[in-house]
Chain A
Amino acid sequence: MGSKKRWILLLAVMMVLNLALVGCRGNTDDQKIGDDPKDGVTDIYDGPKILDYYSAAEPQTLDTQQMYGSPDMILANMFSEGLLRSGKANGETVPGVAESFKVSDDGRVYTFKLRSDAKWMDGSPVTAEDFFFGWRLALEHTPYSFLLSEYIIGASEYENYDQATFLAEIDSTFKNLSEEQKDERVENMTEEELTQYQAKRDELWEEVKVSASGSEITVELISATPYFPFLTTMPVFAPVKETFYNERKAKGDYSLEASGLNSNGPWKIVEWRHNENFKLEKNPHYWNRDNINLDILNLRIVNDVQTRTNLLKTGQLDGSAIQAKDIPEFTDIAVLEEYGLQTMVDMPDFASFYIEFNHVEDTPMKNTNIRKAIMYAMDRESFVTKINLGDEPALGFVPTMFPGYQKSFREESGMRLFEDNQKEKAKEYLAQGLKELGLDKLPPIDMMIGESDIARKIAEKFQEDWAEIGITVNLMPLPWSEQLTRLQKGDFHLASSGWGPDYPDPMTFLELFESTNPNNSGKYSNPEVDRLIRAAKTESNAKERMEYMYQVEKLLFEDAALAPQYYRIAHWTFKKYLTGVVNKGIGATTDFYWADIDMNAKLAK
């Protein structure tokens, strides 16, 4: 009898708990609109068009001049606008604040014509001064300041003129000071010195070849740069309104909270709950507002890919990137129908993955034939069908679909610069290499890899390929920072590496193998490669400079300077009612500028 009572007690406790936890349903603050779906389908909805999407991470910063991460850039593309905007195709531009631009015959001088109806979200006009102010902020050694300083005449001199340079100029004893004393001296500059220093900076700014006359901005470049228009679409080139900047800096929230963000783009950020969500609304002063269809963008911050897929399936997101392991599921038509999804979009994210060799002395990797053996032994085709589903085997360095001269670089330079999976050839190279090194057998080689499961699976696949031709490779999983430290010190045999582009020109990849590049960790050095890279960087003829780059890439493979693995392909799927989303491999990878939503279909789901 007693035990019966206890059971009742237990049940009671459980029920109370369930009530406590479940009871308070309703009373929610979710923003479902048209909460009156009587029969949904027949009602005509004419409220705002609302997108439910996500940001893959909390942005590191929304200071346009400081950003370099992908989630940051996607947001910048929504709330901010440069002279030009990134267009629908990779590397293409469309008008932004500038309604048009022209370039001089020698390709060095760009003149942008600002439109008169470009406005900030408070209705004030976007002026040339706003751009110059933004560019000066950028030239403070920000992550992407090199996109200005390496191209615009005088910009690098301006950027590199710091307090220490100033003090060395006015004080002859300064250069004899120790580093610490110098720092101390800089920290204790007098008011007068600071004023003088600022005046000197202003003077140098005058030397930077950017100027405004009327509604035109003229930018003079060091050498012809066919991709310069695209650079102006990047956040580092964005305009910043000085008064807004100063005001919010004083309040301490510039770019840190929604209140500290000024918008001249299609949407403005009205809510930013850190790590949680963004809410953007159409900017009523945006010049092209009539062609912007989405009124409200609700972006949740969701770090986990699986969670995004769950949200997509339960209808809380209007689209999502799809991870490799879910590709089979989302290529299944029945699944797409069930969730009302469009066919997947496949777009390279332009990350190229490869094996980096240490070319410094005392490792067998110095021998070209050994490197070739490693490069030819790899079976990339079976790798992308078994391990990295949906990716593309890399038989070059510059990724597939990356813009070249007129078509993609790969189409122009060759889809395959060497053949995949040539075990016999690899064995021959190995034998040849061993002979040159005077060895009977290659000592085991270490390969640095990431710590993730995926990194290990990838490496294990190639490890098998190498074992097949008699090369023993030991895998060394290391934390990212430790890998970088070793790369910088040149303390490795092989490293599994990847690189994504900073700007839409193959040079962003190829220059990694210039002997002076700080990221040339293996210290690969080929004077001919260096010469061609120099030539390309100074060549004004767009076709010629591309020719130089084809040659550079070919030389890299003649030398087996690297062993490519794969080009990463990103995959997205969107609901059927969401159309016109543009996916790109560079900059803002998902762009809703041309997107539209059929709200009736969305609400009818």
Chain B
Amino acid sequence: MLRYILKRCLYALITLWVIATITFGLMKILPGDPFNDPKLKPDVKATLIKQYGLDKSIPEQYALYMKNLMRGDLGTSLKFPGRSVTKMIQESFPKSFALGWRAMVIAVAFGLTFGIIAALNHQKVFDYFTIFIAIIGISVPSIVMGPILVYTFGVNLGWLPVTVDGTQISYLLPSLTLALGSVAFISRLMRTTTLEVLNQDYIVTAKSKGITKRKIVWSHVIRNAIMPVVTVLGPLFAALITGSIVIEKIFAVAGLGEYFVSTIFLKDYPMIMGITIFYAALIIASILMIDIIYGFIDPKLRVTGRRGR
């Protein structure tokens, strides 16, 4: 297992390097430069370009960047002069994370519950209810759902805070908004896989052996049906905890989400690179985690004793 993990870590590093290189290339293809502001006089612009080494050739810039990266230095932001990229990510990530894990809990709890119950009540009222929720969750974007929730529960009824102000209760609306799409996604997936498992021979066998329905559902259906869901949870988790620009804007959360978009528009090169590498590392790590968890929960893996890939 340890060797397997080490090997995976090595792959992860190579993947990161490839991602960093491709991002660097793409970023330099973008037209314009970070100081493309008509308010900056030519001499000011020239000074800035020189100061950040952007007058050097691209291979030189690349070499320098990689050298610094190796030492763990992500550089300083161009939009916010002097501010360290590492620090900016460090400051904003916890805020996205605070929202993200709550959304994840909601998504998993409701997604799985809805999915299982819907499958067990196949083509009955609750099944349709789940499908209805799923369709809403998938088709109503957070840019619509967020303001509706804020307006209803925040401004009109005055029950909940309209922004995240650090109190626990203030996380409810944004994490709900953030989770909605994932609730829909997970419940649909869970419903499909549960239905599939329910039709398997071993379930029929179990039934014929006279095992109680509850036991069948708990120890056979869910355990098998949950596997494909677990696979998607890793990247989903990474996506949720890195924040959403829309939700962070609506709820005034000082998170990471905004940087994904704004840094590209502003051509804040070090920030683009920092965010990309950070996000890539998160995804890779979460996939690795899921792989390890898989080893524990997948009955097939244990029976056959298959190890990794």
**B105 cross-chain contacts in A, Cβ below 8 A:** 17, 20
Binary B-proximity of A553-570 (CB < 8 A = 1, otherwise 0):
000000000000000000
Shortest Cβ distance from A430 into chain B, in angstroms? 31
Residue B39 is within 8 A (CB to CB) of chain A in the complex? yes
CB-defined contacts of B172 to chain A, threshold 8 Å = 21-22
Q: Which residues of B contact A20 (CB under 8 A)?
A: 105
Closest A residue to B92 by beta carbon equals A275
| Contact residue among B39, B55, B147, B265 (Cβ-Cβ distance under 8 Å from A306) | B147
Smallest CB gap from A7: residue in B: B117
Given A22-B168, A273-B254, A482 and B32 touching (CB < 8 A)?
Answer: yes
State A518–B45 Cα separation when bound (angstroms). 12
Q: What residues of chain A lie closer than 8 Å to B147, measured between beta carbons?
A: 306
Contact B91 A310 (CB under 8 A): no
| Contacting residues of chain B (85-118) with chain A, CB-CB under 8 angstroms | 88, 91-92, 95, 102, 105-106, 109-110, 113, 117
Please tell me if B81 contacts chain A, counting CB pairs below 8 Å. Answer: yes
Binds B, one of A35-43, A297-305, A400-408: A297-305
* A304, B249: Cβ atoms closer than 8 Å: yes
Give Cα A605–Cα B109 distance, bound, in whole angstroms.
Answer: 40
Q: Among the listed B39, B102, B154, B175, which residue makes an inter-chain contact with A314, where contact means beta carbons less than 8 Å apart?
A: B154
Whether a CB of chain B sits under 8 angstroms from the CB of A146 is yes
A3 touches B121 (CB 8 A): yes
Q: Which residue on A lies nearest to B176, using beta carbons?
A: A21
Query: How far is B252's CA from A303's CA once the two chains are assembled, in angstroms?
Result: 7
Are B150's CB and A256's CB within 8 A?
A: no
Bound Cα distance A142, B105 (Å): 48
| Nearest-neighbor residue (CB-CB) of B165 within chain A | A30
Q: How large is the interface on B (under 10, 10 to 19, 20 to 34, 35 or more residues)?
A: 35 or more
Interface 9-residue window, one of B66-74, B155-163, B199-207, B301-309: B155-163
Q: Of B48, B121, B150, B267, which is within 8 A of A310 by CB?
A: B150
Q: Is B120 an interface residue (CB 8 A)?
A: yes
A314-B173 Cα distance, complex, nearest whole Å? 15
Cβ–Cβ contact A485 & B250, under 8 A: no
- Please give the distance in Å from B9's CB to the nearest CB on chain A: 32
Confirm or deny: A29 has a beta carbon within 8 angstroms of a beta carbon on chain B: yes
One digit per residue, 1 when the CB lies within 8 angstroms of any chain B CB and 0 when it does not, for chain A 123-148 equals 00000000000000000111101100
Q: Which of B39, B81, B110, B249 contacts A502 (CB 8 A)?
A: B39
**For residue B114, which residue of chain A has the nearest CB?**
A10
**In this assembly, does A178 line the interface, its C-beta being within 8 Å of a C-beta of chain B?**
no
Q: Is B123 an interface residue (CB 8 A)?
A: no
Interface-centre pick from B32, B102, B110, B214 (highest chain A CB count, 10 A): B32
Do the beta carbons of B32 and A484 come within 8 Å of each other? Answer: yes
Among A5, A27, A63, A142, residue most surrounded by chain B Cβ atoms (within 10 Å): A142
Q: Is B169 an interface residue (CB 8 A)?
A: yes
Residues of A within 8 A of B39 (CB): 68, 143, 502
Interfacial residues of chain B within 128-163, with CB under 8 A of chain A in the complex: 147, 150-151, 154-155, 158, 161-163
Whether the pair A275, B91 counts as a contact (CB closer than 8 A) is yes
B40 on the A face (CB < 8 A) = yes
Q: Given that A21-B172, A303-B252 are contacting pairs, would A60 and B79 also be in contact in the complex, using a CB cutoff of 8 Å?
A: yes
Residues of chain A contacted by B40 (CB below 8 angstroms): 143
Residue A104 at the B interface, CB < 8 A?
Answer: no
Of the residues A23, A313, A316, A519, contact of B168 by C-beta under 8 Å: A23
A233 CB to closest chain B CB (Å) equals: 19
> Can you name the residue of chain A whose Cβ is closest to the Cβ of B124?
A3
A13-B113, A17-B109, A274-B88 as given contacts; A519 in contact with B162, CB under 8 Å: no
**B33 to chain A: which residues have CB within 8 Å?**
481
- Shortest A149–chain B CB gap in Å is 9
In the complex with contacts A21-B172, A23-B168, A28-B166, A485-B36 CB distance below 8 A: yes
A474-505 contacts to B, CB under 8 A, are 479-482, 484-485, 487, 502
B46 (CB) vs chain A CBs: closest residue: A141
With a cutoff of 8 Å between Cβ atoms, the chain B residues found around residue A276 in the complex are: 95, 254
Task: Determine whether the beta carbon of A300 is less than 8 Å from that of B252.
Answer: yes
Is residue B210 contacting chain A, with contact meaning CB distance below 8 A? no
**Mask of A508-523 contacts with B, CB within 8 angstroms, 1/0:** 0000000000110000
A591 interfacial by beta-carbon distance below 8 Å: no
Given A307-B250, A479-B265, A21 and B175 contact (CB-CB distance below 8 Å)? yes
Q: Chain B residues with Cβ under 8 A from A311's Cβ?
A: 162-163, 252
A506 to B254, CA, bound (A): 38
Question: By the criterion CB–CB under 8 Å, are A302 and B80 in contact?
Answer: no
Is B31 on the interface with A (CB-CB < 8 A)? yes
B59 within 8 A of A: no
Contact A519 B38 (CB under 8 A): yes
B117–A10 touching, CB < 8 Å? yes
A6 CB-CB contact with B under 8 Å: yes
Pick the contact of A17 from B106, B120, B150 — CB < 8 Å?
Answer: B106
Q: Which of A29, A66, A140 contacts B81 (CB 8 A)?
A: A66
Q: For A480, what are the chain B residues with a Cβ–Cβ distance below 8 Å?
A: 36, 265
Q: What would 12 more interface pairs be, CB under 8 Å, given A30-B165, A66-B81?
A: A21-B102, A22-B168, A28-B165, A28-B166, A63-B82, A307-B250, A307-B252, A310-B154, A311-B252, A314-B154, A480-B36, A481-B265
The 4 closest A-B pairs by CB, nearest first: A275-B254, A481-B32, A24-B168, A141-B47
Q: List 6 A-B contacts (CB under 8 A).
A: A17-B109, A28-B166, A160-B43, A301-B254, A311-B163, A314-B155
Q: Which residues of B contact A (CB under 8 A)?
A: 30-33, 36-44, 46-48, 50, 55, 79-83, 88, 91-92, 95, 102, 105-106, 109-110, 113, 117, 120-121, 147, 150-151, 154-155, 158, 161-163, 165-169, 171-172, 175, 213-214, 249-252, 254, 258, 265, 267
Which residues of A are at the interface with B, using a C-beta cutoff of 8 A? 2-3, 5-6, 10, 13-14, 17, 20-25, 27-30, 58, 60-61, 63, 66, 68, 140-143, 145-146, 160, 183, 254-256, 273-276, 300-304, 306-307, 310-311, 313-314, 316, 479-482, 484-485, 487, 502, 518-519
